[in-house]
Structure 1
Amino acid sequence: MTSLTERLSQVDRQKVINDTAALIEREVAAKSGISGMAIKGGYKVVKKVKPNMIEEAIDNLLDSFTGALNPLYQDYVENAALSTFEAYLKQHEDRAANDLLSITDARAERADNKLLKSTYGKLRGQAEKHVKEALPEVGRLIDRYAPKDA
């Protein structure tokens, strides 16, 4: 069976990166309240430190993220009665969020940039909630580029 990473390698990577960056922009913009202000502030810091950092990070982490989601994707393709990966992720949001955050946690731990590391550390406590909120759109993005029946 073809992995999610392999399936996404068959499409225009830059388009996937751009769509993922747009997804992140929408998710950040939709945040509200005190935690939303912290996320928006942290995002602003990242964009100021290096304007294209989000796109570079997506490019660097895309294969790791798709690898982390691959076991769920394989189960969805082989066994799930659900017609979309979006719906499948909603049913497995705890596992999906933790699998994705394990990638960023490891990267943050190895980061040399103290400002970025500190910003991530301050935001990490709420990260699982925010990742879960983004999962439906992540699922739609994967459905678009790696549909079950392709």
Structure 2
Amino acid sequence: MRKDDHSVTLKASLLDSDRRDGVVDDLVELVDQEVADKSGVSGAVIKTGYAAVKKIKPGIIRSAIDSMLDEFVDALEPFWAEFQAQPAGDFGAFLAARPEQASEALLAVTDRRAERTSREAVKSVYSKLRANAQQNVIEALPRLGRVIEARAAA
């Protein structure tokens, strides 16, 4: 896919049944890498919370990403369309240049999901992590954008 091909949406590029599993795999790896890169006291809290969520139900991270992927793609679609209209740099840098808007669009998805879950342990962990979530998402935007762009081009 070329950057000047305005007709190709993220939805068409990422949610196709032949591509979806690979996209989910890449996003699980991205989350694992982002968590592993955290340091200090707040990093320890994130790592502990992440491990707790994974312990509650093995495979929950992959399942959560897969179940929210359509909503994440919808949230990123306006950014992708704008990026496609301005073919400079990579999508990660594009998102990083719009940290508040991009992070809030993505967090709106997880906030809605956290509100609807019946798992009290997940709600509890999410509520503890949410206070710092925007900064964590902002830090992940360059990596996220590169993953999305690479998968959209595949």
User: Which TM-score band (shorter chain)?
Assistant: over 0.9
Equivalent residue number for residue 46 of structure 1: 53
* 1:96 and 2:89 aligned: no
Structure 1 residues 1-150: aligned runs within 5 Å: 1-10=7-16, 11-78=18-85, 80-147=86-153
Question: Match for 2:10: what amino acid?
Answer: L
- Using the TM superposition, give the Cα deviation of residue 143 of structure 1 relative to its aligned residue in structure 2, in angstroms: 1.4
TM-score between both structures, scaled by the size of structure 2 = 0.90
- Using the TM superposition, give the Cα deviation of residue 100 of structure 1 relative to its aligned residue in structure 2, in angstroms: 0.1
Structure 1: gaps of 5 or more residues: none
- Using the TM superposition, give the Cα deviation of residue 15 of structure 1 relative to its aligned residue in structure 2, in angstroms: 1.2
Structure 2: gaps of 5 or more residues: 1-6
Counting aligned pairs with the same residue, the percent is 42
Aligned length: 147
- RMSD between aligned alpha carbons? 1.3
TM-score between both structures, scaled by the size of structure 1 = 0.93
Separation in 1 of the partners of 2:87 and 2:11? 22
- Using the TM superposition, give the Cα deviation of residue 3 of structure 1 relative to its aligned residue in structure 2, in angstroms: 2.1
Question: Match for 1:41: what amino acid?
Answer: T
Task: Give the SS at the match of 1:82.
Answer: coil
